[in-house]
Amino acid sequence: MNDDSLRRQLDELCRAINDHNYRYHVLDQPVVSDAEYDRLLSELRAIEEQHPEWVPPDSPTQRAGAQPSARFSKVRHPAPILSLGNAFSEADLRAWFERISRVDERVRKASFVAEPKLDGLSVVLHYADGLFVQGATRGNGEVGEDVTPNLRTLRSLPLRIPVDRSAPKPPADLFVRGEVFFTKADFEALNKRQAEEGGQIYQTARNTAAGTLRQLDPAITAARPLNLFAYNIVSAHGQAPTTQWATLELLRTLGFPVASESHVCKSMDEVLALYEQWKASRDELPYEVDGMVVKVDDLRLAEDLGFVGKDPRGAIAYKFPALEVTTSLQDIGVNVGRTGVLTPYAMLEAVEIGGVIVKQATLHNFDFIKDKDIRVGDRVLVKRAGDVIPYVIGPLLAARSGKEKKYVPPKTCPVCGQAVEHLAGEVAWYCVNAACPEQLVRNVEHFVAVLDVVGMGEKIVIQLIQAGLIKDAADIYSIKREDLLKLEGFADKKADNLIASIQATLTNRSLSWAITALGIRGVGDVVAQKLARKYHDLDALSKASATDIDDIEGIGPSIAQAIVDWFAKPTNRNVLKKLKKAGFWPVSQPPKKPSGAQPFAGLTFVVTGTLPAFSRKEARDFIEDLGGKVTDSVSAKTSYVVVGEDAGSKLERAKQLGVATLDEPALRKLAHKRK
DNA sequence: GATCCTCGAGTTCG
DNA sequence: CTCGAGGATC
């Protein structure tokens, strides 16, 4: 790249970042995610490092933030409230360590304090003779906004220190730095309340915390449970501790809430190990954490290290991979499901979220698009939380250029072209063409997936259909070895394996799985099990009347009718006939006699996360064998939630509802105890 | 009629 | 995991 274009890029980056700063700090309406902002900033830094002579006076690297808005009176901080440099990888962190070690050899033997980096809003609290007299936002680092009345509403903020009167007295003038934030549970509860009252739904906890703290009416702030953690002493008239760890201890002694995760590390290796640990368990924390702040514990050493621009060298923020990013929604596509449901999905400009590149995300249904007012061309916020599947939270209205296009749902099936239908009172739109090729593919896929035919994924199914080898699910049993060998990509071994895998379904498959495999709308494994208990084979089920099926507990008129309708269709009758002929005809097994004790009788369990010794299915079998019930969602009726590694929202919910949790050993112990 | 619970369906990437 | 909808319960 030549100098001219590099310089243009520098100017463009400055302009963009200044704009983002304004939107973030003044408007509370960011149009890019933190991760993207950080990326722009590090690009800018890289150029400025190469060409320090180019750095413009208004470069965002030359100040710590943006101007405060005019609504609140201004407060000058006693010392500049610094920002931190970022590290995004182990290499970045080690490079930082090497850099500061070269500045001062003592660093090599130094200890570090690791603190969780909360996704909140920085504040400075002023205590005069132990009394909370003023609190301000960070603002641009030198001047912030006076939000004292709002801060007073925070329950965790001590209005007088020390809270414990017997503790030592604090310095006459103490300025404490802290972070204001919502816990995940409080934020969810707030949104739930907003939804009930028909109010606005907030997208991100951080922006809402910022908005809440900057309410002109403190009553509004008071009604929203903001939290505080203190982590720094900005100024204490020479009476501040000399290490960061002692600072945290002093703050705790005085009665400030301090993040309990904070930890002293004796080496970089310890820091890195702790980082990995935090990263793995970050979903379990009650608040959003977007990284780890690593500080040189010895504060005088940290001071000696000096600054790079406005960032102190003695501390750095080591970020977690972002879980929430913004990207642009390039188009909306539509999938056709097994039941004919049309499901829209977002085609996104590729972005990295939590370590993987995401290009697509479901949009659930057409109402979702309409309710969130998602338009093609929008910048959207995409989240990938403790789960794996990314989803679109909503558009960033502030980023609208006017060129975005409203989305019009298709009137016809995107695959077969037949008109789509919509049942009154239902959200979903259906392609009702029984011969729709997409539905056939999905149907066969479902059939083989339920019966556990290995080596038959989407690609192979499509290939077999296109080759004319199968016209419905039952046709898999008539596939010949020599037919497969003619297909591209099939040699002896692959063909043999597939045939063997199909043949394996003829033995040892229960009636309930067979019923599930048929793919009747509303019939999954639970309903199928109930049906298999009452009807001894598929013939018996096919002859049952709707009222007869309706009698089963847990099955109502609408599913009963769907079952009757399915068996009434000639094409499906034909499938049944073929299955019988092929020898796929499971019958009800006599109900298993409860073997031994039933210590879990009457108890309902939910299993979440990865258990150490059990697979999910083994855990389920274990519980059911002992007479317990296993369901998928946590409710007030759940007796125990069995928690494994990487447990997500179910654990959250269990805590909220006060449902008891068990780990695997505790589960075994419970089984033993109740015998 | 409202509310809670449970089930099913579709879902991303490597 | 999220959402919608069916079913049970009050």
CB of A345 under 7 A from strand C?
A: no
Q: Strand A263-265: give its sheet, edge to edge.
A: A85-87, A315-319, A289-296, A112-118, A263-265
Residue A443 CA, nucleotide B9 C1', distance (Å): 13
Q: Which two tokens stand for residue A558?
A: 């609408």
DSSP A195-228: HHTT-PPPS-HHHHHHHHHT-SSHHHHHTS--EE
A97 close to A275: Cβ distance less than 8 angstroms: no
CA–CA distances in Å: residue A179 to residues A64, A116, A143, A297: 16, 11, 17, 20
pLDDT band, very low/low/confident/very high, at A64 (cuts 50, 70, 90): very low
Distance between the alpha carbon (CA) of A632 and the C1' atom of B5, Å: 11
A406 is catalytic: no
Output the CA–CA distances (angstroms, integers) from residue A327 to A22, A35, A319, A378, in the order listed: 20, 11, 19, 8
A198 pLDDT band (50/70/90 cuts)?
low
Q: Which nucleotide is nearest to A360 (CA to C1')?
A: B12
Does residue A74 lie within 7 Å of nucleic acid chain B, judged by its CB?
no
Place of tokens 């199909």: A502
Positions of strand C less than 7 angstroms from a protein CB: 1-8
Sign of CA dihedral A348, A352, A355, A356: positive
The percentage of residues in chain A with a pLDDT greater than 70, rounded to a whole number, is 91
Q: How far apart are CA A73 and CA A641, in angstroms?
A: 50
Q: How confident is the model at residue A264 (pLDDT cuts 50, 70, 90)?
A: very high
Rounded, the Å distance between the CA of A592 and C1' of C9 is 30
Nucleic strand C under 7 Å from the C-beta of A554: yes
**pLDDT interval class at A69 (50, 70, 90):** very low
Strand B positions within 7 A of protein Cβ atoms: 4-14
Strand C contacted by A363 CB (< 7 A): no
Indicate whether A599 pLDDT > 60: yes
Count of H-run helices and E-run strands, chain A: 24, 24
A440 CB-to-strand B distance under 7 Å: no
Taking CA A263 as the corner, what is the angle to CA A262 and CA A268, rounded to the nearest 5 degrees? 125
Task: Report chain A's C-alpha Rg in angstroms.
Answer: 31
**A424 CB neighbours strand C below 7 A:** no
Rounded to whole angstroms, the distance from the CA of residue A558 to the C1' of nucleotide C6 is: 7
**Alpha carbon separation from A530 to A106, A620, A671 (Å, rounded):** 71, 17, 26
CB neighbour list of residue A543: distance below 8 Å, 6 or more residues apart: none
The DSSP secondary-structure symbol of A234 reads E
Task: Using the structure, give the distance in angstroms from the CA atom of A187 to the C1' atom of B7, rounded to a whole number.
Answer: 28
* Both tokens assigned to A666: 């505790």
Average pLDDT, chain A: 83
pLDDT at A646: 60
Q: Are strands A263-265 and A112-118 parallel, antiparallel or unpaired?
A: antiparallel
Strand B within 7 Å of which CB atoms in A 379-438? Answer: 388-390
Q: Which nucleotide lies nearest residue A637, CA to C1'?
A: B5
**How far apart (Å, rounded) are the C-alpha atoms in residues A424 and A422?**
6
* A650 Cβ within 7 A of any nucleic strand C atom: yes
CA dihedral A30, A32, A33, A36 (to 10 degrees): -140
Residues composing chain A: 675
Minimum CA–C1' distance nucleotide for A365 = C3
User: Residue range A574-583: average pLDDT?
Assistant: 92
- The interaxial angle of helices A525-534 and A511-518, nearest 10 deg, is 130
Distance of CA A28 to the CA centre of its chain: 22
> Strand, helix or coil at A510?
coil
Phi-psi region of A602 (alpha: psi -120 to 50; beta: other; left: phi over 0): left
User: How confident is the model at residue A302, as a pLDDT?
Assistant: 92
A84 Cα distance to chain centroid:
26
CA of A553 to C1' of C8 (A): 9
If you average pLDDT over residues A362-377, what whole number do you get? 87
pLDDT tens-place string over residues A140-197: 888 888 888 888 888 788 888 887 778 888 888 999 999 999 888 788 778 777 766 6
Strongest mean pLDDT among A296-300, A402-406, A441-445: A296-300
A364 closest-nt by C1' vs CA: C3
Percent of chain A with pLDDT over 90: 16
Q: Which nucleotide is nearest to A446 (CA to C1')?
A: B9
Single out the catalytic residue among A74, A109, A117, A637. Answer: A117
Beta strands in A320-450 (DSSP E): 324-336, 342-353, 356-362, 379-383, 391-395, 420-422, 429-431
Q: Which single residue has its CA nearest the C1' atom of nucleotide C5? A: A426
Cβ neighbours, 10 Å, residue A392: 23
pLDDT range class, residue A674, cuts 50, 70, 90: low
